[in-house]
Structure formats: structure tokens, C-alpha cells
Amino acid sequence: MFSLGAIKIPTVAFLRKQLNTTALIEFGKYIQKVFPAVFSTEFIQHEVVGEYSYLFTVRGSDPQLMPYMLLAHMDVVPASEEGWKFPPFSAEEDEGYIYGRGTLDNKNSAIGILQALEFLLRRNYRPRRSFYIGIGHDEEVSGLDGGKQIAMLLQARGVKLSFLLDEGSGILDGVIEGIKSPVALIAVTEKGSLTLNLTVRSDPGHSSAPPKETSIGILAAAVSRLEKNPMPRLFGYGPELMMFEHLASEFAFPLNIVMKNLWLFSPLVSRIIERKPTGNSMVRTTTALTIFKAGIKFNVIPHLASAAVNFRIHPAQKVAEVLEIVKDTIDDDRVEITVTEAFDPLPISPWDDQALGVQIFRRTIMDVFPHVSSIAPGVCIGNTDSRHFTNLTDAIYRFNPVVLKADDVSRIHGWNERISVKDYEKQVEFLFQLIQNSDIDKLPKPHLSTHEL
């Protein structure tokens, strides 16, 4: 059963230096209380990193086996009191669901991993393969003080990982139009990100004698041009091509033929899937207008107007290219453009018969979710703490073992985030099984089944 107390602790991250540190400390105390075996077992070392994050080192019995890592985070995005069926930090149970901020992103993983390990320890289990567990405290605001510090600490210790598993994708059930059965998407990369601040300055004055153009009007026109001119379609130039090829047999005729021949049909397919926001995020670098600020009084022409625009960069594009397109689209020197944060899409992790992590995930998914009809490589449309671990391994995977239905995706960072009790139990079962399946020292034989790889 989900430790409901974890959801009740409001570990909200507003900005990098605006965290609810009281709640973060309480979360640390909470996990020590509910997972006593994890904190007292002789072969498990726990450390607090960056003041609030946790790093667990689980020493396996066979030092020859290269360790792996499980990553999660305890912080959550803010939640408004309105719009929710139940208050976001009440952990209310209703018709088999637990409601609350963090139930999908990402206390389900943080608590699920520790819960699975606690169960194993109570059965006197000791793993053969060593592994690390990282529970970050600031993923939602960059991960620089939590996840990144954990990565740097491990790097300083000379650690290399055979693979790493973080949040960022899931088992999609009815999310992809045309696919009826649940499919597991394990993200082999995540999109890059670019956040720009746009500023326009103009002379302030009395609203009774306004100039032809004001800072607000100029800025509004600029952001509107960005919204009306989406970034180019790149569908088929990144790993989403692999994803749809793997999923081709899930579509009914004639779509299955179309998906098998994306070299020919990708322009057509991209026009269809871009109609929905999640589909659009697979097709291109997305443009999101997220902040707009100007004005202080109805009869004062403001001097300053500013806006923030956040782009999530398609794996086939780079920051520099996006920036050039933005400048060309705005095409107005009065709009000052400054870069707030920027990073390119993450490297693509291996997806082949030699990829140990993939084979272990595949086997575990088939054990725990037998109704999943395909397992395919995907793209994480957001960002995760795993991006700070690229110096430790090239095998980084983003997959939350939870079934997401069409309306669940918008609950993440939205209203009424929830997880069913059954789905949480499956998540713990997956992690319980994954830790044991990771003890193999060589790859399992290819499985004869209809599952895709």
C-alpha cells in the first residue's frame, strides 16, 4: 500500500532557491521511519547529498558485476487548491485511486523503490549486483543541487554504471491514437530545452495620448508570431522513427503498413499526430509561452514588457538552430532576446540485444505486465534528473512502470494527479522483480513471444 504520509508532505519546489526545505527535511525523516530495514542493513550505506537528497549504495555480494542505478525525486511542482477533486496534499482515497501532487511525479517511484527494497530485505535478500538509489530534492527546478550533486559524487568515486533507470515515460494505454492495447515506451533520450526571456522597452507615458506602438503591443506581436509559426516538422529524423516502427504491428490495417514505411509516409503521419499536444511533441521542437508581464496601472503606458518562452528541442535539432529560427521569426530588433537556460537533446541510449538494461526491463515488464503487447524505445518529452548522469553511463532509460490512460498525461503537473492503488502495487512489484532480475550476470536468451524489441 502507498505510504500516504509521503503525499501529505508538501515538498514543493517553486524556484531553484525557493524550496519548502521544512517539508524536504520531514520527507527524509519519514522515509527513515517507514523503511527501517533500508536504513539499518549493514550492506546499505545512506548519505544525504546537497542537504536534502538521498543516495543509497546497496553493496551486492558479487563485486565483479557492474552496478546500476535507480533514480527518483521527492520534490513536486506547486498545486493550486482549486480545480482538484480533493486537496492536493490530502492523499485522499476515492474509488480505488489515491489523489495528490506527486502520486505520478514522482513520489510513486521514490517510495516504490524503497518499498520494494524494504520487502526484499525483510525476506533476507541480498543482491548479487550492487546498485545505487538516488532520490533527488530539486528535480522540478533543475536538479542542480540534488541529482547533479549525486552524479558528481559518484563520478568523483570513479563509479561507472551498467544502466540507469529514471522517470519520464510509461505504459501507454489509449494514449497513442490507433493503438488499442497497452504499450510500454522506454525513453532512450529526452528532448533538449531552451528558455528565452523576451524584453521590450518603450517610453512610458499617459494612456490618454498613447504612441502607435507600445512595449506590450510589440511584445505581444512577437510572441504571437512564435506561436503561429511552429518549429519545422522533424518527425522521422529522431528516435521516434524507431518507436513507431516498433509499434507498427499494433496499428490496424492500413495504418500498420503506413507505420512500417515511414520513410515514405512520415510527412502524412506527422500531420495527423501533431493535432494532439502529446503527438505534436513527438513531431517537432515545441514552443510554449509561459510568462507574460507588463503594466502596473490602467492609465500608465508601461516602460517594460517581458515574456518567457520555453522550447523543448526535438532530438534532431540543437539549441543554436532553434535560436536562429526564433530570431528570424521575431524579426524585430526592439525585442531583446536573452537565454535563461539551454541544453541540447540528450544522447540516445543503446537499444539492441547487447543492452543489458533493456533486456532486464523487457523481461521484468513481461513478468509483471503480461497484458502489455509491445515494448518500444521512446522519447521523453520533458526533462529528468538522469540528464546529469551522462558521465557515468551511456545507458540511460526513462520509464515509470505505471499504466497511463489518455487523461492521465494531463494530470502530471495538472489537476487531480492520482494513481490507483492497484497501479502503485504493480509499480512496487515491478521494482521488486527488477532488482532480482538485475542479478543475472549475462543477458537472458531472446524470448519467444510477440513482444517487440
Ligand X SMILES: CCCCCCCC/C=C\CCCCCCCC(=O)N[C@@H](CCSC)C(=O)O
Q: Which residues pair with 309 in a beta bridge?
A: 196, 289
Asked whether position 75 contacts Zn ion by CB under 5 A, the answer is no
- The one-letter amino acid code at 127 reads P
Asked whether position 105 contacts Zn ion by CB under 5 A, the answer is yes
SS3 182: coil
Query: Which residue lies nearer to Zn ion by CB, 106 or 436?
Result: 106
Query: Which residue lies nearer to ligand X by CB, 118 or 145?
Result: 145
Span of 2-10, 103-111, 335-343, 394-402 interacting with Zn ion by CB under 5 A: 103-111
Residue nearest to ligand X (CB): 382
Residue 185: closest CA among 111, 264, 281, 271: 281
Taking the complex as a whole, the smallest distance from the CB of residue 273 to ligand X amounts, in Å, to 5
- Evaluate whether 102 touches 417 at the Cβ level (below 8 Å): yes
State the catalytic residue, choosing from 118, 139, 245, 429.
139
- Distance, CA of 71 to CA of 187 (rounded, Å): 14
Q: Is 206 annotated as a binding residue?
A: no
Dihedral of CA 70/161/367/170: which sign?
A: positive
Taking the complex as a whole, the smallest distance from the CB of residue 95 to Zn ion amounts, in Å, to 25
Asked whether position 115 contacts Zn ion by CB under 5 A, the answer is no
Query: Which residue lies nearer to Zn ion by CB, 46 or 101?
Result: 101
Binding site partner of 151, from ligand X, Zn ion, none, Cβ cut-off 5-8 A by kind: none
First to last CA, the chain: 32
Angle ∠(415,73,279) on CA atoms, nearest 5: 50
- Evaluate whether 13 touches 145 at the Cβ level (below 8 Å): no
Residues 149-188 that bind Zn ion (CB under 5 A): 167
Query: Which residue lies nearer to Zn ion by CB, 140 or 240?
Result: 140
- Distance, CA of 377 to CA of 400 (rounded, Å): 13
Report H helices in 289-414: 319-330, 356-368
Asked whether position 106 contacts Zn ion by CB under 5 A, the answer is yes
Binding site partner of 169, from ligand X, Zn ion, none, Cβ cut-off 5-8 A by kind: ligand X
Angle ∠(436,438,441) on CA atoms, nearest 5: 120
Residue 139 among the catalytic residues: yes
- Distance, CA of 61 to CA of 43 (rounded, Å): 9
SS3 47: strand
Binding site partner of 279, from Zn ion, ligand X, none, Cβ cut-off 5-8 A by kind: ligand X
Phi and psi, residue 138, nearest 5°: -145, 30
Residue 75 among the catalytic residues: yes
Asked whether position 190 contacts Zn ion by CB under 5 A, the answer is no
SS3 371: coil
The continuous run of DSSP H or E covering 196 comes out as: strand 192-201
- Distance, CA of 46 to CA of 413 (rounded, Å): 30
Span of 100-108, 182-190, 388-396, 427-435 interacting with Zn ion by CB under 5 A: 100-108
Span of 98-106, 128-136, 207-215, 426-434 interacting with Zn ion by CB under 5 A: 98-106
Asked whether position 408 contacts Zn ion by CB under 5 A, the answer is no
Q: Is 105 annotated as a binding residue?
A: yes
Q: Is 93 annotated as a binding residue?
A: no
Dihedral of CA 398/400/404/407: which sign?
A: negative
Q: Is 140 annotated as a binding residue?
A: yes
Block residue for cell numbers 494530470: 411
Taking the complex as a whole, the smallest distance from the CB of residue 157 to Zn ion amounts, in Å, to 26
Taking the complex as a whole, the smallest distance from the CB of residue 170 to ligand X amounts, in Å, to 5
Asked whether position 109 contacts Zn ion by CB under 5 A, the answer is no
Binding site partner of 383, from Zn ion, ligand X, none, Cβ cut-off 5-8 A by kind: ligand X
| Helices 107-122, 421-437: crossing angle, 10 deg rounding | 60
Taking the complex as a whole, the smallest distance from the CB of residue 450 to ligand X amounts, in Å, to 21
- Evaluate whether 88 touches 417 at the Cβ level (below 8 Å): yes
- Evaluate whether 100 touches 166 at the Cβ level (below 8 Å): no
Query: Which residue lies nearer to Zn ion by CB, 54 or 251?
Result: 54
Residues that bind ligand X (CB under 6 A): 140-142, 167-170, 175-176, 273, 278-279, 282, 380-384, 404, 409, 412
Taking the complex as a whole, the smallest distance from the CB of residue 383 to ligand X amounts, in Å, to 4
Residue ranges of the binding site for Zn(2+):
73, 105, 140, 167, 413
Site residues for Zn ion per CB under 5 A: 105-106, 167
| Residues catalogued as catalytic | 75, 139
Residue ranges of the binding site:
73, 105, 140, 167, 413
